Structure 1
């Protein structure tokens, strides 16, 4: 591996280590040769996310221009042009090694562009359209790296796991997203529980959720749990050397839902975080579990009407 490529992989790994603590820990359970490729995909998604979320003091047009410029360099690299970028060489190398579907990357960049102009979603169907790029595409990007004896059967569980992880982040980060002027809780869900955006903003200011907001969050936790349930069979479909990693990621992201429930679904009281001791214990158990061990569904029983699992959409949200 030449120096430029090695430095690009190192840059992606550092982004992953610094910003993706839960997934970074899980990735350490992969065979060494696979880790750098997972870091590369994380670096790609994180850098695009940084352009969108860490430049919010700039005009929308300028932020869109930066995303377009970076996406243009990426596309040029896919067509064999030399790319002057600190991390794209690692991403392009990973795509070439595993012949990853270029459409997944285009779908992801499309969803990142949506974050520049879309601040809310009328329905869960509309949110799923966004998550096709921001979440499901990442699941299918990862699948060739993780490996499976039956990739066709493992594809839909991989997509569902992307949805589950993304929804977990949305639930945990309601307050942070409000600060960025966005709401990933669908309007139809707010209406169902009699919650307005103004009330969400007031709860953010107080640092305390109302009973109606807590009921809304419990409903969203149940929805995330339904996606975890749909993703669960896919873990044992993975290559033996990848199962401990994804079993850990599954349990730790799901553990965030446990933490949300432990604070009575008040996502404004504090940011739900799985304690370090528990993260290490989960990783150790996953490493010791025999290959083929099924995962346990995350999250506690959810009170009220949210306890009923919501019907999941079909494989395609569009």
Structure 2
């Protein structure tokens, strides 16, 4: 299937094909929900999404390398800072047209060129990754939103040129950014315990304090594998913030190219389902990761597949010259790297 996707995208250079295949493998291995939704995209657009995911995953792994050490690990911080510096420099050269030996950079630079993605989105993303090495908590939701501009909102903005829109792109952009935020808030809720092990708390401090929760209580509950009604109340409040982000993002789905909507709608439903899974697991995110049941995932994916089929049939019936989405750079642009 990889070869078919690369052929459909017009990616011929063997080195770039290998780079994109590497990013696809990262997506398949680490982003199960995201990868499942990506399978609903037209084949020619999948490699670009894999490249965006692969780069983000690579940077995230630098910040959160295996072993659980994180912000609180002063011995690891210089090494990870240096690794981010190298990645940032390599990306700058790649975006300027230089050849990169790092597969994730080579694929990302090519995708950025093909779809004319604003380079500032990558700069902002790396700035948020860098802050994860020094910032361990956020005073309020405003501070957290500022961080998520680079860590989440720009991911939605990077995706938008690949997905295509039926409205001017700038009209759809705020909704794409908000959906990126909703997805990350979901991850923050699901991963409270794992993030705590890295020394980080993404739930705003004022929200926690309003329910009588602090870092000490969170650590005590995690260490003792115990529940506390105050923690549960704080988690419920954070889930409410997250659901509000989904509501704000929802109108943007209909602004996308009809052939890409099923992918984003599927991701929207599956990620939203994580909130339901957390609640169904008695808000035990300090002790284990909640997952959407396999049957539920299959049903949502099946619905997405039906929507994809309908959208592609409609596209074939569309009269010649009748645009369904705003123009986007052709995937067949010259491979400059």
Q: Would the TM-score normalized by the shorter structure come out above 0.5?
A: yes
Compute the displacement of 1:82 (Å).
Answer: 1.9
1:9 aligns with 2:8: no
Distance, in Å, in 1 between the alignment partners of 2:245 and 2:110 is 31
How many Å apart are 1:276 and its aligned residue?
Answer: 1.7
C-alpha distance after superposition, 1:186-225 (max 9, x if no partner)? 1111111110101101111122320000000000000000
Structure 2 CA distance, aligned partners of 1:181 and 1:268? 13
1:287 Cα shift? 2.4
Give the alignment partner of residue 285 of structure 1, picking from 291, 303, 324.
303
Q: Deviations over 1:30-71 (max 9, x none)?
A: 000000100000001000000010064752112101100111
Contact 2:263/2:304 (CA < 8 Å) preserved in 1?
A: yes
Q: Secondary structure at the match of 2:259?
A: helix
Correspondence for 2:290: 272
Shift of 1:268: 2.6
Alignment partner, residue 301 of structure 1: none
Aligned to 1:121: 138
Pair 1:82 & 2:99 matched: yes
Q: Which moved more, 1:144-153 or 1:40-49?
A: 144-153
Query: Aligned equivalents of 1:267 and 1:88: distance in 2?
Result: 34
Q: Residue 277 of structure 1: CA displacement?
A: 1.7
Which of 50, 58, 62 is the matching residue for 1:39?
Answer: 50
Q: Distance in 2 between matches of 1:201 and 1:218?
A: 18
Tell me the alpha carbon deviations over residues 102-149 of structure 1, each in whole angstroms, 9 at most, x when there is no partner: 010000000000000101111110011100000000000001101102
Q: Secondary structure of 1:220's partner?
A: helix
Structure 1's consecutive aligned runs of 4 or more residues displaced over 6 angstroms after TM superposition are none
Is the Cα–Cα contact under 8 Å of residues 209 and 269 in structure 1 kept in the other structure? no
The equivalent of 1:195 in structure 2 is 213
User: Structure 1 residue 269: deviation in Å?
Assistant: 4.4
What SS class does the counterpart of residue 83 from structure 1 fall into?
A: coil
Q: 2:274 maps to which residue?
A: 256
SS of the residue 2:92 aligns to: helix
Looking at structure 1, the residues matched to 162 and 236 of structure 2 have their Cα atoms a distance apart, in angstroms, of 34
Paired residues of 1:193 and 1:215 also in contact (CA < 8 A)? yes
Tell me, yes or no, if structure 1 residue 67 matches structure 2 residue 84. yes
What is the count of residue pairs matched by the alignment? 291
What is the TM-score of this pair, normalised by structure 2?
0.84
Asked whether the 8 Å contact 1:215–1:265 carries over to 2, the reply is: no
Three-state SS of the structure 2 residue aligned to 1:157 is helix
* Aligned residue in 1 for 2:161: 144
CA contact (8 A) 2:152 2:181 kept: yes
Q: Structure 2: how far apart are the matches of 1:60 and 1:44?
A: 20
Superposition RMSD on alpha carbons, in Å?
Answer: 1.2
**Cα distance, 1:78 vs structure 2:** 1.1
Q: Which residue of 2 aligns with 1:313?
A: none
SS of the residue corresponding to residue 177 of structure 1 reads helix
- Corresponding residue number in structure 2 for 1:310: none
Q: Secondary structure at the match of 2:103?
A: coil
Check conservation: 2:193, 2:288, Cα contact below 8 A.
no
> Unaligned stretches of 5+ in structure 1?
292-318
Match 2:260 to one of 242, 266, 270: 242
Q: Choose 1 or 2 for highest CA Rg.
A: 2
Residue in 1 that maps onto 2:30: 19
In structure 2, the partner of 1:48 is 59
Instruction: Verify the 8 A CA contact 2:140 2:204 in the aligned structure 1.
Output: yes
